[in-house]
Amino acid sequence: MSFFPLPHIEDSPKRIRVYIAGVCIVDTRHAKLVWEHAHYPNYFFPEVDLPNWYLSIPTASPDVASYDLWIGLRGAPKTITRYLTGPLAGLFTIKFSDMDAWFEEDEQIYVHPRDPYKRVDVLQSSRHIRIEANGIEIANTRAPRLLFETGLPVRTYIAKTDCRLDLLEPSELTTECPYKGKANYYHVQLESGRFENVVWWYPNTTAECSLIRGYVAFYDEKVDVWVDSEKQEKPGSK
């Protein structure tokens, strides 16, 4: 969520390094955080940090120049965009997903840079949480951990020992979150049918979300949830 006009540009106080094919193509203490949209920022860099020796001849328009990046036989087409006009003139950005690794100081980051205006808090709770799917209870706890993330619904994390583990079937799906880590998923398998990828959990987490490590969360949108004996409306149902 953005509270300022876009694009918004801020100096980053962090050392940023970018790697591909074992080569560090950017190593700078002068990165910018740029919000081009309201959801999250991306890193931009001054032209002096442009890794010219790995770049193709640019494809240019009046406003931007696009570069392919090549290291040996490894290529990343049009992965670098340099801005020639407007508020981003003199800066370039790199497509995050094309690179092998990004580091803030010595900590690797994933998916996209974290928004310094976004908070993620995990709080221990004593609320009584029950979860059902098609009338079958699949979780029941009085010690949930609640995750509060700016701009998103509150998520309830439950110890696996408070769940019907016999009904959880491992999924091949994984997703990554820059604030929490890499998530694995479960299906809920009932005699009446299967609920696909309705449960997720983090085998490992970022340091700030360590309280949810090993706990599972259910998509409230796809199951029935009771909090202190009161059935909850599904998010988005109004």
**Which pTM does this prediction carry?**
0.88
Taking the C-alpha atoms of residue 199 and residue 91, their distance in angstroms, rounded to an integer, is: 41
Distance CA 117, CA 235 (A): 24
DSSP-derived letter for residue 160 is G
Look at residue 234 in the predicted model and tell me its pLDDT: 82
156 in Cβ contact with 187 (< 8 Å): no
- The arithmetic mean of pLDDT across residues 216-228, rounded, is 97
Residue 103's pLDDT is what? Answer: 98
- DSSP label of 55: B
- The pLDDT-based confidence of 238 (bands split at 50, 70, 90) is low
Domains detected in the chain: 8-109 (2.170.150.40), 120-231 (2.170.150.40)
Percent helix / strand / coil, the chain, rounded to 5 = 10, 50, 40
> pLDDT tens digit string along 125-155?
999 999 999 999 999 999 999 999 998 999 9
End-to-end CA distance of the chain: 22
Identify the pLDDT of residue 235. 74
What is the rounded CA–CA span in Å between residue 224 and residue 61? 53
Where do runs of H (alpha helix) occur along the chain? none
**pLDDT one-digit tens code per residue, 1-41:** 457 899 999 999 999 999 999 999 999 999 999 999 989 99
Residue 210 binned pLDDT confidence (cut-offs 50, 70, 90)? very high
- Give Cα 31 distance to the centre of its chain: 20
